[in-house]
A and B are shown apart, each in its own frame.
Chain A
């Protein structure tokens, strides 16, 4: 029994998140009877998708025991760049393709800047990504000083529509999960966890730690870019401040999902659950018809309790 527990603790650090997620689903379904209907479920996925994507990227960085406080700013800058390019090129099919490609390129460039500063120049991750985040947010304001501009209907209709009968947002989520599944089977992922577990030992056993950390930041930039694209689909316009709240929320989602900030332990599945938990908490509070003034406090307390509970449970498992 003891060894089984230990096994589950290490292999499934997101067990606690799964339980909380299911409980919230049940509560949500009771408060909002239409919760389980396909349309409502899809719109929930659409609403939670940007945060889930940022949280996926953040997970890789955190697994290496780093952090990306610029993720939200990357979302913003990609969001406004994509909208500006599409509108600037006349909203044609080619402009959409160019916008999507350049948007992802911008996310990767931002990730590369973070990775080079942290992994190769050996800057402190918290301060560095805070600083690069300020720069990225500045660029977002430069590209688009105020929320506005529009993308052609094809873009947001495709995002809100279905492909082969399955909603686009579900495809995106499934693709992200599949991608994460592939990553998890690579040598890179092993090296990433080794780096997060003990960077000195990893270095001494020949893990290219700097390259591994850089790649983690590239992934964070990539997923932040995807979140920026998803937000273009969701809002059909650009907003230079849209990603601001996503930075700390993504860290919260990662921790809720059972990934340790000290690195090595955890995984993407937990972070997706964590993002959904944050979204469901919002839903539950909304549908519980609490007085508006109480909502923030209740939300804060639930998140704090979930964070604390997750950390305590995870430690309990490790110590058994």
Chain B
């Protein structure tokens, strides 16, 4: 391998993200011995999986271009956790029913968002912001401000307890999503259509790509992945919290960007996003283990994000 190719490889976002993961792990171990122990890593990956699943939907929407972004995922996650907790009512027998109900409901919410974006041509930022308000309002109506509902024991076990090789089930779910999504994006017509509309919508339309249908589906899938995250989050926390999903809204976008998907659409993929989610969680976790007050953590976190932007989040220089 020539030096130039090595350098090019090193500059790829995925390489940077993986490098960042290694540096963070080493740094964490240095600062607090035991940080990079296998058990601790599994815990971190479990938390990263929650962010990674919601970021899958975000990734799809962003890949589809035309300023694609989904600000409603936080509200949908909270809604999904509430709905799941109330349908399953701590009973394993209702688990499948709960999963089905939630995924159908959140897919439909995403579908409405997608229709607003494609048929009414409302900018995604605006449409999803509006939808966020509606979902949050709807959640207050359903809960009357008092959260209720608990996870079925089986769901908690899937998320938190070792299933195979010492790894919890949620990691296998995440890996499965990663494999399927990557294959869908790279090998199926739908996947190629996503990149096509994200790169040049007009050209894609002329080439016969069903632009509106594809983009609508992307938003519906983002709703679905947010719904799945809500279910998994319920399994992780066991209880339903109001606003539990809010913390995922902007980090899901950041994970996608750190993973090398361009916010302009049309380039990137889910493997990078998975690495991006791990980077974010590692960073947060190191900052938590450091003995610094919350404000300090926040400042370091923000500055580190800016540093990552410096590495590869830069936009093209304008040319005269």
Contact = CB atoms under 8 A, between A and B. Distances in A.
B315 A128 contact: no
A312 B122 contact: yes
Nearest to B251: A130
Q: Is the interface of A mostly helix, strand, loop or mixed?
A: helix
Contacts of B296: 138, 142
Nearest to B143: A293
Interface size of A as a range: 35 or more
Interface size of B as a range: 35 or more
A134 B137 contact: no
B270 to A, nearest CB: 18
A311 B130 CA distance: 12
A261 B126 contact: yes
Contacts of B298: 134-135, 137-138, 141
Interface in A299-320: 299-301, 303-304, 307-308, 311-312, 315
A139 B137 CA distance: 31
B141 interface: yes
Interface in A181-233: 199-200, 203-204, 209
Interface string A124-165: 101110111111011111100100000000000000000000
Contacts of A209: 318
B257 A122 contact: no
Contact of A134 (B71, B133, B301, B315): B301
Contact of A123 (B116, B133, B314): B314
22 contacts: A69-B250, A123-B310, A124-B263, A124-B315, A127-B253, A131-B254, A132-B302, A133-B302, A134-B301, A135-B303, A135-B306, A138-B296, A142-B295, A252-B129, A292-B145, A293-B140, A295-B137, A300-B137, A300-B138, A303-B130, A311-B122, A311-B126
Given A127-B313, A138-B297, A308-B130, 5 more contacts: A123-B310, A127-B253, A135-B303, A141-B298, A301-B137
Interface of A: 67, 69, 117, 121-124, 126-128, 130-135, 137-142, 145, 199-200, 203-204, 209, 248, 251-252, 255, 261-262, 292-301, 303-304, 307-308, 311-312, 315
Interface of B: 67, 69, 71, 116, 120-123, 125-127, 129-141, 144-145, 250, 253-254, 257, 263, 293-299, 301-303, 305-306, 309-310, 313-320
